[in-house]
Amino acid sequence: MAYDGSERGGPELIGGRYRLGERLGQGGMGVVRRATDELLGRQVAVKTLALDSGADPADALREARVVAQVRHPHVIVVHDVVEHEGRPALVMELVDGGSLADRLAAGEVFSPRETARLGLGLLDALTAAHARDVLHRDVKPANVLLEKDSGRAVLTDFGIASLPGATTLSRTGVFIGTPEYTAPERMQGGDAGPASDLWSLGAVLCAAATGTSPFRRDSIGAVLHAIVYEEVRPSAAMGPLVPVVRGLLERDPELRLGAAEARRMLAACAAGEEPAAVALGPTLREDAPAAAPTPAALDRAGQDTAAGGPGSGRRGPRALPFVAAAAAVCAAAATVAVLLALQDEPPKGAAAGPHGTIGAGSTATSAPASTPASGTGRFPSRQVTDEDGFTLLVPSGATRSTDGARIIYTSPDGAVRVGVRIRPVPPGGAIGVMRASAEDGPTSNPGYRDATVEETTHRGLPAARWEFTWDGFTRAEGSRHTFDLAWEDDETLYDVWVSAPLGRLEEARSRFGATVDSFRVTGG
């Protein structure tokens, strides 16, 4: 384990040879101390079970057996198991350096190339574990040690890993794992395989490159909402890592990026190259007719393009049906009690971090007031009065979410999105914003094509209109089309857009006209 120079312990000798020293850290089940192996004259780390943790002594032996199955340069080495206060203690290699969590807490952020090199080491460690049918199940920054001199990444703490033929660690009433880095299928209590560890790796890469967990929120309920429902939009700061992160954070484990392809892409990033993205699933025919919502259609979630922001409109991974996910989580009553709150809440859209990034948390907003449907003919709509000081038409039953800069209303089937952004008029005005967004289109919107930008007026005010097609949020959903209008009113820029699958182009066009016409400012 890592030595961080923390408080002094007593000179107790255990196992007849290990002299305990400074405490290095403490987790839910054990305390880790620096120690001296007096027989071999080397520094080691000793993990002892905390007396008040309620941990079963068999858990320590189980962890030692798990690690013994996986011998790899990027996996912690267990040297010995001895008795301490009537319980087994693990004697491990001492990695001289802090954890990734320590580095991030100190404000350090890794470059894309550094993050890719870190990811390669962790991926190789996981690949070695998976080859032995061992699942780590708790890949997170605190369990990644970084050797000071070599920069070697070491995966540690296999305390909740699963091992073939061994009893799986579980505790009634307790969630096993770290929610911010746990794959959605595990959150639902479903079967978890190697793909679940790869999801966690994707989240760790985001944390290393941006400084924070991609699903950091203010409460456990908001964390779970983000994992199973919200769009994941990688930060532009991640540069060439964006495709691999998108692939690893694909919510459907069957479509998630595999280890071999992830390694190829990370190796390209580490070499300073731009990795080619990989198709994650079958593409539907773009001319397929629109159909009634199906269970698969309910898998869609995420937000759409707002003109002018870095990372706007990036393709997010397919979201699991939130109501179904909440029900599944609640059915598995062995998880933390706070999960139960999710089954009583509609999706309310906890904030997804600063515009164009994943990470920073915020509280969810309450549903806005609404009036009965009107305004878009055969496409059911309702008029909402938003808490941010405007009113407009949105799809009936739409749910509201926000990332702090943009407000998104998403239809019940996840297919149609109405967005609003209000801000001071930037240099260049509405047309400058639209032209800059269009120029960034190929980067922010995969498959960007058929784009037009034109200067116009709206209610006699300077305005600009942007329209384009792109590949959409998921391969299963297929291509999408976006209509976007921005206009200047005094010193304020209003930006309203509508996006829908290409097969529902008529609906998107109809809703866009009605939404723009219905928009009114209600607050100061």
Which positions are catalytic? 138
Helix (H) or strand (E) holding 301: none
Non-local (6+) Cβ contacts of 471 within 8 A are 315, 445, 446, 447, 479, 480
CB burial readout 396-435, b (16+ within 10 A) else e? bbbbbbbbebbbbbbbbebbbbbbbbbbebeeebbbebbb
The CA-based angle 126-127-132, given to 5 degrees, is: 95
Q: Which residue has the tokens 């914003």?
A: 433
Query: Coil, strand, or helix at residue 34?
Result: strand
Measured CA to CA, the distance from residue 348 to residue 351 in angstroms comes to 9
Angstrom distances, CA of residue 415 to CA of 29, 282, 467: 44, 18, 18
Contact 417, 401 (CB under 8 A): no
Which among 201, 130, 187, 122 is positioned nearest to 163, based on CA atoms? 130
Which among 487, 437, 428 is positioned nearest to 460, based on CA atoms? 487
Per DSSP, what are the bridge partners of residue 274? none
Quickly list H helices, 211-279: 220-228, 242-248, 259-270
Per DSSP, what are the bridge partners of residue 343? none
Measured CA to CA, the distance from residue 385 to residue 11 in angstroms comes to 67
Cα distance between the two ends of the chain: 56
Per DSSP, what are the bridge partners of residue 385? 369, 391
Q: How many CA atoms, within 13 angstroms, populate the side-chain half-sphere of residue 252?
A: 17
Contact 136, 169 (CB under 8 A): no
Which among 246, 187, 520 is positioned nearest to 386, based on CA atoms? 520
Angle between helices 322-331 and 220-228 (to 10 degrees): 130
